[in-house]
Structure 1
Amino acid sequence: MGTAAQACPDYNLSPGESYRASGADLYQQRFFDVIAGGQNYIWNCPNVRPGTDTGAGFFPSAPDFSFDLAKMGRYELVISVVSECDAALLINTASANWYYDDDDNGNLDPRIVLTRPNDGRIDMWIGTYDGEYCNARLELETFDR
């Protein structure tokens, strides 16, 4: 049973990188380099059920990034990826909601806008639509609501 849990995105696993940021800190766009891709096909994972898009995607088990966010009350948060392949984005918010996107940033790259992000931990996985791996960049930026 333990192996099955390890074979899906799991926010209980240690992230590749962790950061703290406030809404004001992210008012200037921030960039984070990452290798997009993973071995876990999202729809084989019963623990992950995004309330947004339902496209394909392969993601690592551990989050690529974890952010401890504070003072987000007056901001919306834009999370996007720019990559050399068909990237996909999976996030789990502080309120335990899953979000997925594949192409909303254009050029086969993902973008998710959280219009009312909660303070607390948000985990992010940068995967790919087809299971390939490539260079990518996570981008975060807040905007006044």
Structure 2
Amino acid sequence: MKYLISAAFGLFALGTAAQACPDYSQWGDSYSLTGSQMRKGVYLNVVAGGENYIGNCRNVTPQTDIGAGYFTTAPDFTLEISGMSGLALEVAVVSDCDSALLINTASGTWYYDDDDNGNYDPRIVLTRPADGYLDVWIGTYDGDYCDAQLQLETFRR
């Protein structure tokens, strides 16, 4: 009986792990930023990577391309942004590995990128970001972990 319970628990644990995905209802490191603060650039250090393979996550349906990548469940950053009227927001990553970027905006829209910043680093430009919460995950394409920096900058549209 003990082995049957252990086997059942093992199957439950495997099933639960496979279901883990990025979850915007959780909170990452929190910052309040205005559009004018980000005009000068804001730089936040982070370790890129995660345990959840994005290809298995049905709850994440990006408006931009979707590819491979491993991300944490909770966002790396939960940003409360304001003063965004008339501005675009560039969200980029510079890292020591092949990083990937996942964003969930205040409107609930998902964005993903892998290499648009060059050197295997991601970049997403939000052309009309709304005031509110922006959840940001910095993952890696291949499941490795590495040092990375999130870079946020606004500019006039």
Question: 1:33 aligned to 2:39?
Answer: no
Runs of 4+ in 1 over 2 A off after TM superposition: 1-6
Contact 2:38 2:154 in 1 (8 A): yes
Rg larger in structure: 2
| CA–CA distance in structure 2, aligned partners of residues 114 and 85 of structure 1 | 24
- Letter of the structure 2 residue corresponding to residue 39 of structure 1: E
TM-score, structure 1 length as denominator?
Answer: 0.95
Question: How many Å apart are 1:9 and its aligned residue?
Answer: 0.2
**1:9 — aligned with what?**
22
Question: How many Å apart are 1:53 and its aligned residue?
Answer: 1.2
| CA–CA distance in structure 2, aligned partners of residues 125 and 64 of structure 1 | 5
| CA–CA distance in structure 2, aligned partners of residues 6 and 29 of structure 1 | 36
Question: 1:89 aligned to 2:101?
Answer: yes
Contact 2:103 2:137 in 1 (8 A): yes
Q: Secondary structure in 2 aligned to 1:35?
A: strand
Structure with more of its chain in helix, by fraction: 2
Gaps of 5+ in 1: none
| CA–CA distance in structure 1, aligned partners of residues 27 and 20 of structure 2 | 14
Contact 1:60 1:125 in 2 (8 A): yes
Gaps of 5+ in 2: 1-11
Aligned length: 144
**1:22 — aligned with what?**
34
TM-score, structure 2 length as denominator?
Answer: 0.88
Contact 2:79 2:135 in 1 (8 A): yes
1:75-95 C-alpha deviation (Å, 9 max, x unpaired)? 000000000000000000001
Question: How many Å apart are 1:74 and its aligned residue?
Answer: 1.2
Contact 1:50 1:97 in 2 (8 A): yes
Percentage of identical aligned residues: 61
- Cα RMSD for the two superposed structures: 1.6
| CA–CA distance in structure 2, aligned partners of residues 134 and 31 of structure 1 | 16
Q: Secondary structure in 2 aligned to 1:25?
A: helix
- Letter of the structure 2 residue corresponding to residue 9 of structure 1: P
Contact 2:49 2:140 in 1 (8 A): yes
| CA–CA distance in structure 2, aligned partners of residues 109 and 131 of structure 1 | 14
| CA–CA distance in structure 1, aligned partners of residues 19 and 107 of structure 2 | 22
| 1:1-145 matches, cutoff 5 A | 3=16, 7-15=20-28, 17-145=29-157
